[in-house]
Amino acid sequence: MREIPLIQVPQPVPSSACLSCEVCCRFPESDSFLRPYFLPTEIRQAIAGGLEAASFSDLSGGQVNLVPQPMGEGYLCPAFDPQTRHCRIYEVRPLDCRIYPFVVMWNADHTGILLGWDTKCPFLLHHSAPQEEHSPELSLDSVRMALPEETLRMAHHVAASLESEQIIVLLTDHPQFVTRFQEDVVSIQPLPILTEHLM
């Protein structure tokens, strides 16, 4: 069983913004394709951290099983505590969560893998464009052009880590880690080495 090297990702979104958010760790459907993907070692760590083994359909790797939202509609990650708004396994949260709101996904025609920023994270739209430009119709190109240099530096760091030899080997064993194309994700840069190994 391969161990997962810890990718140190600078926190792109302040904790105060995360704790006031109503988006992360919550899902409209029980089988949402956006559920976090856990690699085998991450599953073992999550169970050791207090999650039930039943939270995972496949202990050899896969997406976590969601639980019904206790107060309202929708579903939650079983690691999310809705009372405190904290992750119960934060210190051993999976790579998928460590890099969020960066997302690893296929491009539209499934010919390459890219790193993007998920616009479902409200912090992005609030801080990436001038206030007068904030609107539901704000184009992804506008958001991309307005991304701060610091965000782009973080993206390059994450991309380099994802294309390191250790991570490439892990993701080659678990290609489902790469999500399908999402129209509301801002494309930041291609991941050609990962693409070469997973094609």
pLDDT along the chain (199 residues), means of 10: 62 75 89 94 94 96 96 93 91 92 95 93 65 50 68 89 92 95 92 96
What pLDDT score does 128 carry? 56
What pLDDT score does 41 carry? 92
Backbone angles phi, psi at 36, to 5 degrees: -65, 145
Pairing of strands 185-190, 113-118: antiparallel
Cα 126 from Cα 118, distance rounded (Å): 13
What pLDDT score does 154 carry? 87
pTM (2 decimals)?
A: 0.86
Contacts of 107 (CB under 8 A, 6+ apart): 113, 114, 181, 187, 190
Cα 193 from Cα 113, distance rounded (Å): 9
What pLDDT score does 132 carry? 44
Residue 100 backbone zone (phi > 0: left; psi -120 to 50: alpha; other: beta): beta
Half-sphere exposure of 95 (CA within 13 A, CB side): 26
Backbone angles phi, psi at 4, to 5 degrees: -100, 120
